[in-house]
Structure 1
Amino acid sequence: MADTGTLDRKTWQTALDQITEEHEGELVTIEILDPEIGHQHEAERLPFAYEAYDPKDDVVIVAVGGQSSRYPVVLRHMVQNPKEIDVAPQGVPEPAIRIVDKDGTATLITFYPEESGTGS
Structure 2
Amino acid sequence: MAGTETLDRSTWETALNQVTEEHQGELVTIEVLDPEVGHQYEANRLPFTTIVYDPQDDVVAVSVGGRSPRYPVVLRHMVWHPREIDVATQDTPEPAVRTVDKDGTATLITLFPQGSGTAS
Q: Is the pair's TM-score, using the shorter chain for normalization, greater than 0.5? A: yes
Structure 2 portions without partners, runs of 5+: none
CA deviation after TM superposition for structure 1 residue 118, in Å: 4.2
Partners of 2:73 and 2:21 in 1: CA distance: 20
Q: Percentage identity across aligned positions?
A: 73
Distance in 2 of aligned mates of 1:31 and 1:118: 18
| 8 Å Cα contact 2:100-2:106 kept in structure 1 | yes
Structure-2 residue corresponding to 1:47: 47
- Structure 1 unaligned segments of length 5 or more: list them: none
Query: Which SS does the other structure have where 1:94 is aligned?
Result: coil
1:91 deviation in Å? 3.2
**AA matched with 1:72:** P
- CA RMSD after TM alignment: 1.1
Hey, what does 1:65 align to over in structure 2? 65
Contact in 1 for aligned 2:29/2:44 (Cα 8 Å): yes
What's the counterpart of residue 9 of structure 2?
9
Shift of the alpha carbon at 1:3? 2.1
TM-score by length of 1: 0.96
2:81 corresponds to 1:77: no
**CA–CA distance in structure 2, aligned partners of residues 72 and 38 of structure 1:** 30
1:89 maps to a residue whose letter is: T
Does the Cα contact within 8 Å between 2:97 and 2:109 map onto a contact in 1?
yes
Residues 119/37 of structure 1: CA separation in 2 closer, same or farther (3 Å cut): closer
TM-score normalized with structure 2 length: 0.96
Count of matched residue positions in the alignment of Structure 1 and Structure 2: 120
Separation of aligned partners in 2, 1:20 and 1:118: 20
